[in-house]
Structure 1
């Protein structure tokens, strides 16, 4: 199950026999965990985890890590860059569109 809160995304897991569902935020560089007994409890715990994280950062004078922006800097060999550009042109796409589509195919 996937939950969303203010741009953050969490994956939820449940092991048969556990009393709690466990969540982990997947689109932040920090590791943020939470748990709940039912979906309402889980959503509340997720929101509280994000609030607590922001407060923790504020107390320490640091900026909270934001959810992934969708921008990815990628370094590849020049020859590969050339081949990707050629394939993108053949497909009638920008390099960004071409790479995003190929990544979506495998993700």
Structure 2
């Protein structure tokens, strides 16, 4: 079971607050803190849609570009040994290191 919802290209992680008896969520992948909550799954879905629509409308109203998509450029450091192993695995599979890493990351994130 995944604890996520998606709408209009946005995703949210969902949690249950047993103390208050409500579901809570927060739009993921944006710098602005946009949260929502409800006491039913259907209510939570509606609250999520409203939160996304409100976020987009607010950005338009204040002249701010809504944060949405990622650039597709990922830069991170690994140890030289991991780099060597990854480069070798990519070469042996007949792919560039970039192609190989994209496939590995996609499988790991799914």
TM-score scaled by structure 2? 0.74
Secondary structure in 1 aligned to 2:6?
Answer: strand
Kindly report which structure 2 residues correspond to 1:36-47, keeping only aligned pairs within 5 A, or say none: 36-47=38-49
Secondary structure in 1 aligned to 2:17?
Answer: coil
| Cα displacement string for residues 7-54 of structure 1 (whole angstroms, at most 9, x for unaligned residues) | 111111002232310001123233221101111110111011111111
Secondary structure in 1 aligned to 2:14?
Answer: strand
1:106 deviation in Å?
5.7
Secondary structure in 2 aligned to 1:14?
Answer: strand
For residue 58 of structure 1, what is the aligned residue in structure 2?
Answer: 60
Kindly report which structure 2 residues correspond to 1:19-98, keeping only aligned pairs within 5 A, or say none: 19-68=21-70, 71-74=72-75, 76=77, 83=84, 84-98=86-100
Aligned-residue RMSD, C-alpha: 2.6
- Give the unaligned 5+ runs of structure 2: none
TM-score scaled by structure 1? 0.76
- Give the unaligned 5+ runs of structure 1: none
1:104 deviation in Å?
5.1
For residue 14 of structure 1, what is the aligned residue in structure 2?
Answer: 16
Question: How many residues are paired up?
Answer: 104
Residues of 1 paired with 2:14 and 2:60: CA distance?
27
